[in-house]
A and B are shown apart, each in its own frame.
Chain A
Amino acid sequence: MTGREPTDTRTHATTETGSPRANDARTEAVPPDALTDGGRMDGAGSGGDRADEAPLLSVEGLTTRFYADRVISAVDGISYELRAGETLGIVGESGAGKSVSVRSLVGLIDEGEVTGSVEWRGQELVGAPTRTLRGIRGSGIGMVFQNAEAAFDPIETVGSQIVEAVHASRDLSNQAARAEAIDLLEEVGIGDPAGRFDDYPHEYSGGMAQRAAIAMALAGEPDLLIADEPTTGLDVSVQAGIVDLFRELVAEREMSLLLISHDLGVVSQLCRRIMVMYAGRIVERGSRKQLLGSPRHPYTQAFLRSVPDVDERRDLEPIGGSPPDLADPPAGCRFHPRCPAAEAGLCDGAAPPTVRFADGSDDGAAGGGDADRHEATCYAYAETHPGGDDYDRSAVASIEWDGAVPEVDE
């Protein structure tokens, strides 16, 4: 399958994989430019000071395919990094491959083939034996799923399952584990934790169950918490509570957070950096401010326009067309059939290049490393046309962003 690598060494961009880490897989490489993380959203944590450390999680060319009667490429060569204490969000519509990509990180893909590289603290996870993965699950990486009640075994008490999580990652006596579990329940905001310990999952309300699931994910004291659509399906009022909870936890535990959601509001409240996924590929990435203020990729723009805005009265514009068939995706840029600025002969050929934008890094510091790059994978921004210089840029004008810059509290 051609065009899997979305990066391209043309135009005013360095490649995504510019850091030497790509070549020496096992050494802890230092990115070429020291980078100040422009302040975490809630001001806590020392993410910025650790910017010159190696990333916690390093994903490179991650590809996941399912083999049914057809080959489905659910995730097609995505790469990114996550540093300690960072908050990263992945947004996109259903079927974009967001969930599959994070499940592929930790080896939860049962019936598919995962290729590429996923390094956790320098250790390769793709193809690693289950024992290695087990060691990382829980104590290194914790995960919260969408349907909270589905995270629990229905015939065991919630408390016992949290204790199970504690035992799996830490060495505590039964009593200590139980006490720890109760503490965790309290930490996530569940009243009467000792009493609730002996309740069954179906006796918890939706919001409480999600809190308990979060407690369970934290039981191993992970360095990274992955949350896959944690607020989807919850009441709006309950959602706010969960979002607040995540915010507190990230701050207090100095954890990294990888948040998946199709709800841009939730992601923008919790994540300092955001990546936009479409049809298994990352189409744009940048800081929250960049992405919400000046989205570049036509899909990102369309996505933003389709989301209601509390402050501004405007029409919702659904994205035209339907999501692509991942067993037979469009050639070239996978978004081109639905893109208002698509150019025949260009966008439907080879995969588009990734272009970096000059507004990268919030406080104007020169880019480098993954942290504050604002990039989009789209031909519209390529400076030189593959066929020559005569590139019709009138289409690009149509994707200038005219939406209001949202207020984002830092």
Chain B
Amino acid sequence: MTTTMREYAVKRLLWAVPVLALVTFIVFGLVRLVPGGPAVVMLGTDASPEQLEAVRTELGLNQPVYVQYLDYMGGVFRGDFGRSYVNNQQVSAAIASRLPTTLFVTLAGFVVSLTVAIPAGTLSAVKRGTKWDSVGLTFGLLGVSVPNFWLGIVLLLTFGVTYDLLPVAGYVSPLSDPVEGLRYLILPGVTLGTAMAAIVTRMLRSELLEELQGDYLDAIRMKGVSETRTLVHAMKNAFIPVVTVIGMQFGYLLGGSIIIEVVFSIPGMGRLLVNAITSRDYITLQGIVIVYTTFFVVVNLVVDLTYFHLNPRLRGQ
């Protein structure tokens, strides 16, 4: 019985939905767990009980948790993430205005990472044991040992302050001005992409090394095929497990973008999130976390489907 792509997609969706539900519920619940409840947070600890009660009724905090949850989720599906009681803004509006920015930053990191990792990993494996390999391995080791925000600061210092080449803070959307937008994305992209590049390089190298020992390669050579084409066969095989790693790394990119936005003062969702935390704006916090997590789950789903598609051996399950 072969599993078609559609069947597999359905199976994965059925998995993803409960996970998403669980995740959103966790976030929702967490916020409610704040000592004293959101009402105290909003009004301060020296608010009178009547004031607290008023706020609680207004926000519906006296109802059972699951009712609140369903209410909230109902709103989410309608696009209503509630209203922040700190700045009285619609959370959905705040998120919507910043989402593209965060996406661009994340994308920049993604592009940088793969642009470096694929050649580095391949070269490292093919030229195993030589200088190139050592370079690749060192890069791999350092890449995961350096915190991205520190790297960002160092890069800022070098390229922004010491040599005034690139902008130190701020953001221009590539949609409105591609060239400037790109300039503003270079440092954030490099910073964000380095750690992921290191991990993917390592993974690609190790997978490719293993593939290169495959028996089928000799059979391919015996057909009279060129060494390059033989290598391509090996690479395609090696890339498949790497795809899953890339998917996992996307989560890191999402999380890392939060920090990068802070380092480079980019007005994205991450900055909004950090501000929400420091100002105890839990409704906004809730909304943003849900958006991030949903994104992550969706990306993982796509990665899984891609993996399934790429690997014919899975279809016969």
A137/B221 in contact, CB under 8 A: yes
**Chain A residues whose CB sits within 8 angstroms of the CB of B236 once the complex forms:** 153, 155
B306 to chain A, nearest CB (A): 13
Question: B residues 274-305 with Cβ under 8 Å of A?
Answer: none
**Chain A residues whose CB sits within 8 angstroms of the CB of B215 once the complex forms:** 145, 147, 150-151
Q: Please, which residue of chain B has its CB at the minimum distance from the CB of A106? A: B222
Partner of A152, one of B219, B222, B240: B219
Partner of B216, one of A143, A150, A202: A150
Partner of A134, one of B214, B219, B224, B312: B224
**Chain B residues whose CB sits within 8 angstroms of the CB of A169 once the complex forms:** 223-224
A155/B222 in contact, CB under 8 A: no
Secondary structure type dominating chain B contacts: helix
Partner of A138, one of B223, B227, B240, B311: B223
B190 to chain A, nearest CB (A): 33
Question: A residues 287-344 with Cβ under 8 Å of B?
Answer: none
B313/A150 in contact, CB under 8 A: no
Name, among B218, B227, B237, the residue most crowded by chain A CB atoms within 10 Å (CB to CB): B218
A221 to chain B, nearest CB (A): 11
Q: Please, which residue of chain B has its CB at the minimum distance from the CB of A169? A: B224
State whether the Cβ of A6 lies closer than 8 Å to any Cβ in chain B.
no
A143/B222 in contact, CB under 8 A: yes
B313/A137 in contact, CB under 8 A: no
B313 to chain A, nearest CB (A): 5
Stretch at the interface among A211-219, A357-365, A382-390: A211-219
B219/A143 in contact, CB under 8 A: yes
Measured CA separation A117–B240 after assembly (Å): 41
B222/A137 in contact, CB under 8 A: yes
- Cβ contacts B142-155/A at 8 Å (1 or 0 each): 00000000000000
A213/B219 in contact, CB under 8 A: yes
**Chain A residues whose CB sits within 8 angstroms of the CB of B313 once the complex forms:** 154-155, 200, 202
State whether the Cβ of A104 lies closer than 8 Å to any Cβ in chain B.
no
B216/A153 in contact, CB under 8 A: yes
State whether the Cβ of B233 lies closer than 8 Å to any Cβ in chain A.
yes
Partner of A216, one of B219, B226, B312: B219
Interface size class, chain B? 20 to 34
B168 to chain A, nearest CB (A): 46
B312/A220 in contact, CB under 8 A: no
- Cβ contacts B221-255/A at 8 Å (1 or 0 each): 11111110000010011001000000000000000
State whether the Cβ of A108 lies closer than 8 Å to any Cβ in chain B.
yes
Q: Please, which residue of chain B has its CB at the minimum distance from the CB of A157? A: B312
B219/A150 in contact, CB under 8 A: yes
**Chain B residues whose CB sits within 8 angstroms of the CB of A137 once the complex forms:** 221-224
State whether the Cβ of B73 lies closer than 8 Å to any Cβ in chain A.
no
Measured CA separation A151–B233 after assembly (Å): 12
Partner of A153, one of B220, B221, B310: B220
State whether the Cβ of B64 lies closer than 8 Å to any Cβ in chain A.
no
State whether the Cβ of A350 lies closer than 8 Å to any Cβ in chain B.
no
State whether the Cβ of A135 lies closer than 8 Å to any Cβ in chain B.
yes
B312/A154 in contact, CB under 8 A: yes
Measured CA separation A136–B214 after assembly (Å): 22
A258 to chain B, nearest CB (A): 13
Q: Please, which residue of chain A has its CB at the minimum distance from the CB of B239? A: A155
State whether the Cβ of B35 lies closer than 8 Å to any Cβ in chain A.
no
State whether the Cβ of A164 lies closer than 8 Å to any Cβ in chain B.
yes
A103 to chain B, nearest CB (A): 7
**Chain A residues whose CB sits within 8 angstroms of the CB of B237 once the complex forms:** 153-155
**Chain A residues whose CB sits within 8 angstroms of the CB of B240 once the complex forms:** 155
Name, among B219, B236, B312, B313, the residue most crowded by chain A CB atoms within 10 Å (CB to CB): B219
Partner of A217, one of B221, B222, B316: B222
Measured CA separation A406–B41 after assembly (Å): 97
- Cβ contacts B9-44/A at 8 Å (1 or 0 each): 000000000000000000000000000000000000
B307 to chain A, nearest CB (A): 12
A165/B216 in contact, CB under 8 A: no
Measured CA separation A173–B311 after assembly (Å): 28
**Chain B residues whose CB sits within 8 angstroms of the CB of A29 once the complex forms:** none
Measured CA separation A2–B294 after assembly (Å): 72
B172 to chain A, nearest CB (A): 42
State whether the Cβ of A243 lies closer than 8 Å to any Cβ in chain B.
no
Partner of A168, one of B225, B310, B312: B225
State whether the Cβ of A49 lies closer than 8 Å to any Cβ in chain B.
no
A145/B219 in contact, CB under 8 A: yes
A202/B316 in contact, CB under 8 A: yes
**Chain B residues whose CB sits within 8 angstroms of the CB of A156 once the complex forms:** 233
Q: Please, which residue of chain A has its CB at the minimum distance from the CB of B223? A: A165
Measured CA separation A130–B225 after assembly (Å): 11
Measured CA separation A141–B219 after assembly (Å): 12
B218/A134 in contact, CB under 8 A: no
B63 to chain A, nearest CB (A): 54
**Chain A residues whose CB sits within 8 angstroms of the CB of B316 once the complex forms:** 202-203
Extra contacts, 8 of them, besides A103-B218, A137-B221, A137-B224 (Cβ < 8 A), are A134-B226, A138-B225, A150-B216, A151-B215, A165-B225, A168-B224, A200-B313, A220-B223
Q: List 28 A-B contacts (CB under 8 A).
A: A106-B222, A108-B218, A134-B225, A137-B223, A138-B224, A138-B225, A145-B215, A147-B215, A150-B219, A151-B216, A152-B216, A153-B237, A154-B312, A155-B237, A155-B312, A155-B313, A156-B233, A161-B220, A164-B220, A164-B223, A165-B223, A168-B223, A168-B224, A200-B312, A202-B312, A202-B316, A219-B223, A220-B223
Interface residues, chain B, with chain A CB atoms under 8 Å away: 214-216, 218-227, 233, 236-237, 240, 310-313, 316
